[in-house]
Chain A
């Protein structure tokens, strides 16, 4: 499959092009060596310790499912990179493109090979981010940027949900190793968190695989260069979600919620997308919607979960990867050579581009499900599994029938329309694309035919082992082209008949659909814009209210948050459940205690309510001295001395500042503020309650005892408070001095500034009138002065 064409000396794209082809080709060859052991039923674990402390091991688990994906990723990757050398090789940013594509490939390989859930998530996000860069590769186009961002936000949000789900799953299972989790399905399904895990995993898978209602990003992602679409939307990116669902089937699957979630989302996406695909006029968009359809069908059949359904899903997975990649690449060649992808413009290119036509036709026949192609086998298996389903048989079969018919039509639109018919004048000079471009679709189309004729090959090496891995036990997979005239065969024949009729009428069908869709009020893409606008509006509203620029409002919000948080915590912790021993509390209370308490309380209330500056200063002084008295009465002489000094300085400084400041009532008369008063009382009450709760608790005296015992022996001091400050916690004290020095320097700088011009109350400018000496640099003078022995 990996024909890199070494005999061609020059390759567009230069060294970057060679590197981009050789890496996936080499990886493909490396993975191919595992085909034998895996087909024999082995599960290989290859890895090393990554973050041992968190028990995260980077380990590759190579089983049938991951190997099938790995081969598709590297194989189709080789063809796509070969194709890109011609498609984008001349682009000035081509090396950047190669870098993104390689990053994406690494992410995708890691995603399907990781044995560790966390590693899987990391790679999952690597694909999200690199696909963002790839979809937005033509970054000068606003449409491209929007599509990239949309894909990033949708899949990234799903990725976060997935992370949460993985952590829950890891906790439920007690391990993050997939190979271990896969063996404990019953325990997980019976776990209390099963529903939450399921919802979170499906959120990740549905966004990644674009299941309804998260489907809208995928058609938009067609803004990407065609090789990217061919790669991301055939075998890789969007199949990531399918991989996850398939991988989790043994662990999470088989339950009612799993079944219905997947059946409904998958079935709806299938029908919805196949109808919309007919509506499109851009052939790339037609293919994008059929990709949605395929993803829906895969989801649907993984959801059904019977051995036949899993088998059908795995066959269809491989079938779809081949023909979809081929068709995307084909339309890319047409676009590259003819300059348009519009179905209405393209006609009769078959003679001008014979190889491309041939390759596209092979893929399209496979897509339409016509024998003897691989696609026919895929369709037959889907029908078989649908008809065998025990629940919702009509829904499943009907879905697949509708999808197959419309796929037939879409295949016709994608290939018959542009290549057949009379060649218009404008395409006279159109010619075949280079071999590097048609090689990919040609090989993939040929393989679609080859696998249809020799179905044993994919059966033994890919589909069989993959089905075993998903189903969890050996499944008898026997692919065959013709299995007699049975219900599935008859359905196939009806499919072709209806498909042919619809293809002939597809233009009328498209116009009708366009009218219906135009009348439909629910639109996802504008809805997405509205959602983003809404988010922006909420952010603006919140900023306007939280960041109002009004100081009092900031302080209000801060204190209100404090009060609510404290009150909720108190209630939550149930710490207010105590009995107060009032008699004990009042015992031994002397007159001096009462006097101090009353003084401080009165001082505080007075300071809060007075309109006079002098009264306020005096009240502050009363409070400060009262606090100092409390320190004295309760055995803290050093603290009391400091408090007295500081309090004196505070009052002096305020008094000095008053000389230069207006009266409290001047032009800042406070309006009546009942809500402020209410908040003040609330904060005060909460503080009291917290304090009471703290005082009810046990006091941990270990540190105090340590200081008491070691103060004399280790620090040779007998004043324990001083010893703590200058010895045990000397570094803290040093920091404290630094704070005071910085405050002093800042205050000094502020006061220096006043020399250069001031503004009086009436707004008139004055120059050089304020003498620094009026307000002596307060902190500088006091910082060291208040010393504490």
Chain B
């Protein structure tokens, strides 16, 4: 099963890399979600996969069953999931906000910080100018 999970994680990573390389920042966010999942699976599987034996101590016992699953990667993954979610929520807000201000989801057109001589699109240009003008007003 581990080998198959490894192959599947490879597909997940490939898909997320392809998404993260897209110009559309929303796609990038999708890639971020996928790659978090892939990373969590890698941590989880590297502690080996143990079917149907959670790391719990039975009533009246003091240690878990001998064949219990590895608890350490589970704890790590749990933390990773939550942090991954925090990152995702923030990134999504950022994308939303960027769209509100710049009127585009195309990362190539988001050039307020690093302006280029030739702008790829006039719409982006207009948005940018307005954004800068508004900043100057404020």
* A contact residues around B26 at 8 Å (CB): 613, 661, 664
Say whether A704 contacts B70, CB under 8 Å: yes
- Residue in contact with A635 in the complex, picked from B24, B30, B68, CB distance below 8 Å: B68
* Pairwise interchain contact A759-B127, C-beta atoms closer than 8 A: yes
Complex Cα spacing A559 to B15, Å? 13
Distance between Cα atoms of A193 and B3 in the complex (Å) = 46
Q: Specify which of A549, A593, A605, A631 is in contact with B1 (CB 8 Å cutoff).
A: A593
B15 touching A680, Cβ below 8 Å:
yes
Candidates B4, B70, B102; contact of A701 at CB < 8 Å: B70
A679 touching B69 in the complex, CB below 8 Å, given contacts A552-B107, A634-B50: no
Instruction: Tell me the A687-722 residues at the B interface (CB within 8 Å).
Output: 687-688, 691-692, 694-695, 699, 701, 703-704, 707-709, 711-713, 717-721
Contacts of A616 in B (CB 8 A): 27, 30
**Interchain CB contact (< 8 A) of B11 among A601, A744, A770:** A601
Query: Which of A69-77, A207-215, A777-785 lies at the interface with chain B?
Result: A777-785
Interface residues of B in 80-114 (CB under 8 A from A): 81-90, 92-97, 99-108, 110-111, 113-114
A650 to B21, CA, bound (A): 21
Q: Please name all residues of chain B whose beta carbon is closer than 8 Å to the beta carbon of A391 when the two chains form the complex.
A: none
- Whether A759 and B15, one on each chain, are in contact in the complex, defined by CB atoms closer than 8 angstroms, is no
Which A residues lie within 8 Å of B8 (CB)? 597, 600-601
Q: Are A751 and B30 in contact (CB under 8 A)?
A: no
Interface string of B24-42 (1 = CB under 8 A from A): 1111111001100110111
What's the tally of chain A residues with a CB closer than 8 Å to chain B?
114
The range of chain B's interface size is 35 or more
Q: Are B131 and A684 in contact (CB under 8 A)?
A: no
What residue of chain B has the Cβ atom nearest to residue A635's Cβ? B69
Docked-complex contact B24 and A668, CB < 8 angstroms:
yes
- The residue in A556, A637, A646, A703 that gathers the most chain B C-beta atoms within 10 A of its C-beta is A646
Cα A593 to Cα B5 in complex, Å, equals: 10
A610 to B: closest C-beta gap in Å = 10
Q: Which residues from chain B contact A783 at a C-beta distance below 8 Å? A: 86
- In the complex the two chains form, what is the Cα distance from A582 to B72 in whole Å? 28
Q: Which of A600, A654, A691 contacts B92 (CB 8 A)?
A: A654
Question: Which stretch from A268-276, A519-527, A728-736 is at the chain B interface?
Answer: A728-736
Docked-complex contact A718 and B56, CB < 8 angstroms: yes
Which of chain A's residues has its CB closest to B18's CB? A680
Determine how close the nearest CB of chain A comes to the CB of B97; give it in whole angstroms. 4
Q: Is the C-beta of B23 less than 8 angstroms from some C-beta in chain A?
A: yes
Please report the C-alpha to C-alpha distance between residue A328 and residue B15 in the assembled complex, in whole angstroms. Answer: 73
Known A687-B42, A751-B97, A761-B123; judge A646-B82 contact (CB<8 A): yes
Which one, A3-11, A29-37, A88-96, A669-677, is touching chain B? A669-677
Instruction: Give Cα A128 to B20, complex, Å.
Output: 49
Give the residue among B27, B41, B82, B111 with the most A Cβ atoms within 10 A. Answer: B82
Interface residue? B136 (CB, 8 A): no
Residue of B nearest to A593 (CB): B1
Bound together, the chains give a CA A744 to CA B92 distance in angstroms of 12
B90: nearest chain-A partner, CB-CB: A743
List chain B residues, Cβ under 8 A from A637. 54
- Collect the chain B residues with CB atoms within 8 Å of residue A691's CB: 5-6, 9-10, 42, 45-46
Establish whether residues A683 and B82, one from each chain, have CB atoms under 8 Å apart when the complex forms: no
CB < 8 Å neighbour of B47 from A667, A699, A719: A699
Q: Does chain B have a CB within 8 A of A351?
A: no
Does the CB pair B19–A635 fall under 8 Å? no
A771 on the B face (CB < 8 A): no
Q: Which residue of B lies closest to A633 (CB)?
A: B51
Q: B67-81: contact bitstring with A at CB < 8 Å (1 yes, 0 no)?
A: 011111011011101
Contacts of B52 in A (CB 8 A): 633, 635
* Shortest CB distance A654–B (Å): 7
User: A763 contacts B75, CB within 8 Å?
Assistant: no
B38 to chain A, nearest CB (A): 7
Residues in A whose Cβ lies below 8 Å from that of B111: 549
Contact A635 B55, beta carbon cutoff 8 Å: yes
Contacts of B15 in A (CB 8 A): 604-605, 607-608, 680, 684
* Residues of A close to B83: CB separation below 8 A: 736, 739-740
A256 interface residue per 8 A CB criterion: no
Would you give the shortest CB distance from B86 to chain A, in whole angstroms?
Answer: 4
CB<8 Å pairs between A and B, sample of 10 = A551-B110, A605-B11, A607-B15, A616-B30, A636-B77, A650-B88, A676-B17, A695-B2, A761-B103, A770-B100
Excluding A627-B40, A657-B92, A673-B21, 8 further A-B contacts by CB distance (< 8 Å) are A556-B21, A604-B14, A635-B51, A636-B44, A721-B74, A742-B86, A760-B103, A763-B130
